[in-house]
Copies of this chain bind each other. A is one copy, B any other.
Amino acid sequence: MQFTSEQRLDDGVFEREFVLGEIPGVLWTPASASAATPVPLILLGHPPLGLRRMYPRLAGRARHAAADGFAAATIELPGSGDRPRWAAVEQARADLRRVMEAGEPVGDEIVGALILPLVEKAVPEWQATLDALLSLPEIGGPVGYSGGVISIGIRLAVVEPRISAAALFAGSLVPAAMFEEARRVTIPLYVLLQWDDEGNDRQAALDLFDAFGSEEKTLNANMGGHTGVPQSAGDAAAGFFTRHLRQSPDGPAARR
């Protein structure tokens, strides 16, 4: 992991861009983070629209996390942003667009062709990023995963034992195969759903929530359309991480 730029934001948050091999990413740490007082970490997932385009929303979430005492980090997804195009996924995207524009139902084959390769490639990249981040003295644990693509979050929750809580956006296309995987998730989950998101299959989102094997899972559904997640829902997800990732001198996690 090589840092390529750094800046101190106005609220004291330290923002560093990095590359890990060919993967660009960004790390935000609160002013309080140091080798003497390492902080927990939240991995910020996002849709495959490119880091540059997603930066304002990601930086906003990172500042919120930093204000709660957490480091936050994100990486570019394979095939997005400045990373090399990926023919198979480009093709799947074009297929999806064509089907949606024609008003036809989106079959599981198209969804799988788009999402499963992304999961297969992105999850090991997140794990390599986690290796590198946790080797930094100012970053400790526990680790949470926040955001989309929900299938990436599901796979990470299943295969990566260092992730101890996840807040997921139930707004993505989910291949049928991921429902089975969801049953194997056991970490605490906080699932955000936009109830009136016309581009989303609400029943599938509810079925997915039902499928999760976690003993502790919360569904927080709100109005406001696909991008209109209310501030209170973001705050609630932040509160979830505070409950689950904040180390207390008296025990594993502090209750607010």
A residues with a Cβ closer than 8 A to B are 195, 206, 209-210, 214-223, 230-233, 235-236, 239-240, 243, 255-256
Q: Is the CB of A195 within 8 A of B220?
A: no
Copies, count: 2
Q: Is the CB of A218 within 8 A of B232?
A: yes
Give chain B nearest CB distance to A135 CB in angstroms: 33
> Which of chain B's residues have a CB closer than 8 A to the CB of A239?
232, 235-236
Q: Pull 8 A–B residue pairs with CB atoms less than 8 Å apart, ordered by A.
A: A216-B230, A217-B223, A218-B221, A218-B233, A219-B220, A219-B221, A220-B236, A232-B243
Q: Is the CB of A218 within 8 A of B209?
A: no
Give chain B nearest CB distance to A59 CB in angstroms: 21
> Which of chain B's residues have a CB closer than 8 A to the CB of A255?
231
> Which of chain B's residues have a CB closer than 8 A to the CB of A233?
218
A22 to B231, CA, bound (A): 44
The answer to whether residues A223 and B216 also contact, given A195-B210, A210-B195 and a CB cut-off of 8 A, is yes
Q: Which residue of B lies closest to A219 (CB)?
A: B221
The answer to whether residues A222 and B231 also contact, given A195-B210, A206-B206, A236-B236 and a CB cut-off of 8 A, is no
Q: Is the CB of A232 within 8 A of B240?
A: yes
Q: Which residue of B lies closest to A217 (CB)?
A: B223
A164 to B231, CA, bound (A): 20
> Which of chain B's residues have a CB closer than 8 A to the CB of A230?
216, 218
Q: Which residue of B lies closest to A255 (CB)?
A: B231
Q: Which residue of B lies closest to A218 (CB)?
A: B222
Starting from the known contacts A214-B223, A219-B220, A221-B221, 4 additional A-B residue pairs (CB-CB under 8 Å) come to: A195-B219, A216-B230, A217-B223, A218-B233
Of the candidates B219, B235, B240, which one forms a contact with A256 in the assembled complex, judged by CB atoms under 8 Å apart? B235
Q: Is the CB of B220 within 8 A of A218?
A: yes
A232 to B255, CA, bound (A): 9
Q: Is the CB of A219 within 8 A of B218?
A: no
A195 to B214, CA, bound (A): 12
